[in-house]
Amino acid sequence: MGKIAFVFPGQGSQTVGMGKEAAEQNSEMMSYFTKADETLNSSLSKIIFEGPQEELTLTVNAQPALLTTSIALLSLFEKSGIQAGFLAGHSLGEYTALVASGALTFEEGVYAVRKRGEFMEVAVPNGEGTMAAVLGLDRVKLAAACNEVSESGYPVSLANLNCPGQIVISGSRKGVELAGEKAKEAGAKRVISLEVSGPFHSSLMKPAAAELKGVLDGLNMQDAKIPVIANVSAEPMEKAEEIKEKLIEQLFSPVLWEDSVQKMIELGVDTFIEVGPGKVLSGLIKKIDRSVKTYSVSDASSCKDVIEALKEGQL
């Protein structure tokens, strides 16, 4: 029988009201939202449940909000005794995976991603950096275009290698614009500007990474009980010291999502369960390998359905 992997969404999947219905019906789930409020000394749960969307979308709120909602939903699987062979998350989702693995406590995870969000927002003055999705061009050609532009003095690099034919680039506004033009000349089908507050996963995030190191050094990081596939290497990581290093690198390095999914499949995973709002990762996984099973659970009823099916051996 194949292994299960739990995967956790990144920033962009947040929606007002996520987890609200499930938390209102389940006191254990609600306790995570309460703990998040206490840890951050803020009314994060009110923003999650009631909005407004603009406030929830702020990096400093979206990151802890997504981690809290995903871990609350995951608690239903943990209670049922269903365990994963591997864990992974996209960018911010990697922190959720580390909480799920036992490497970080829930409170440490929420605190770390709030600080991470703060550092990311101030690393580059607003409007100076951006990101764009490039469709229909392979990574070698796109990397060459980015290198050429960077050498001319406008930093830009690959940021998210999501699935075949979908790569996000990140860097200075001018660098992303020029690399997008070069990508089209090289055969890209489309270049889509993304509504983001900064050039995430690019060299411009190195100041944020230096700040983040100070926060991570202050946490009581443990070895992971379940291997987590690292964004920056697409390899399993379990040792606390390695996890810390990889989290710092992750801020200014590309997210190797396609490679991470391929690695989990190589390691025997045939069922991916996306825990948290949206279906972004499930969609990417299907584009990477159509033969694996994918499920998205974003509320209590979808969790219950998947848990029952797993227990009956129907998945």
The residues carrying an active-site annotation are: 91, 201
Burial of residue 240, with CB atoms counted within 10 A of its CB: 0-12 exposed, 13-18 middle, 19 or more buried: middle
Quote the crossing angle between the two packed helices 300-311 and 59-80, to the nearest 10°.
30
Burial of residue 58, with CB atoms counted within 10 A of its CB: 0-12 exposed, 13-18 middle, 19 or more buried: middle
Q: Which of 178, 111, 128 is nearest to 148 (CA)?
A: 178
- Cis upstream peptide for 164 (omega within 30°): no
Q: Which of 121, 116, 105, 183 is nearest to 149 (CA)?
A: 183
Q: Which of 206, 204, 245, 201 is nearest to 103 (CA)?
A: 245
**116 with 191: CB under 8 angstroms?**
no
Q: Which two tokens stand for residue 152?
A: 């001319």
Q: Which two tokens stand for residue 273?
A: 């369960």
**274 with 297: CB under 8 angstroms?**
yes
